[in-house]
A and B are shown apart, each in its own frame.
Chain A
């Protein structure tokens, strides 16, 4: 069984469009995250949700909005896509928001903005 799943795996779209990436975890974890991995492979945390509450919101443009309908899902909605949004986006989850908690990652979504 897949622990953390993301859809779609690949997303190609035009500049200015709005798109969403879905994430689901079946581990019973309380915390979920979104990361962005740029073309140089640098991974940076964008958001985390703990029990459906936003805990971290790094300096991410407000065109990015995480939405968590329940603690097993954390979707990422992106408005007015820009070329610089092209990257691989990873969803992750952990038992709780503690340093001791290992994060489990989804397979990633490669977003290409044309």
Chain B
């Protein structure tokens, strides 16, 4: 069975600083996809970044980047130059290549402090 673990229930960061959110997963699949979703207080789930397991290069989207360590089954999210609007719950998610399942972690609540 696939599991996704986020070991940091809450984190805070000063505005303009950098923060890293951790995510580990467990799977026997060889090909799969990993995602980070953001859920601000508005409740809307927004895709932040995605990574394909067969790609060694870490995905990057503007201030958001991932550190994907396939052997360690680790998929952390780095937010650079944190902004107040980054305050949200962040969910790590996993989907096997077959696509018939989608697993979320328990989330990390990030607060950006002015």
Contact = CB atoms under 8 A, between A and B. Distances in A.
B99 interface: yes
B52 interface: yes
A20 interface: no
Contacts, number: 58
A55 to B, nearest CB: 6
Q: Chain A: interface residue count, which band? A: 20 to 34
Nearest to B37: A105
A99 B99 CA distance: 4
A105 B102 contact: no
B86 to A, nearest CB: 17
A99 B95 contact: yes
Contacts of B113: none
B106 A100 contact: no
A48 B100 CA distance: 8
Interface residues of B, number: 27
Interface string B6-38: 000000000000000000000000011101010
Interface stretch (B39-47, B57-65, B75-83): B39-47
B96 A99 contact: yes
Nearest to B94: A99
Interface in A68-114: 88, 90, 92, 96-105, 107-108, 110
A90 B46 CA distance: 12
A98 B39 CA distance: 23
A94 to B, nearest CB: 8
Given A100-B33, A105-B45, A45 B102 contact: yes
Given A41-B107, A42-B104, A100 B43 contact: no
A107 to B, nearest CB: 5
A12 interface: no
Contacts of B47: 102-104
Interface of B: 31-33, 35, 37, 39, 42-47, 50, 52, 89, 91, 95-102, 104, 106-107
14 contacts: A33-B102, A41-B106, A43-B104, A55-B100, A97-B99, A99-B33, A99-B97, A99-B98, A100-B99, A102-B50, A103-B47, A105-B37, A107-B43, A108-B45
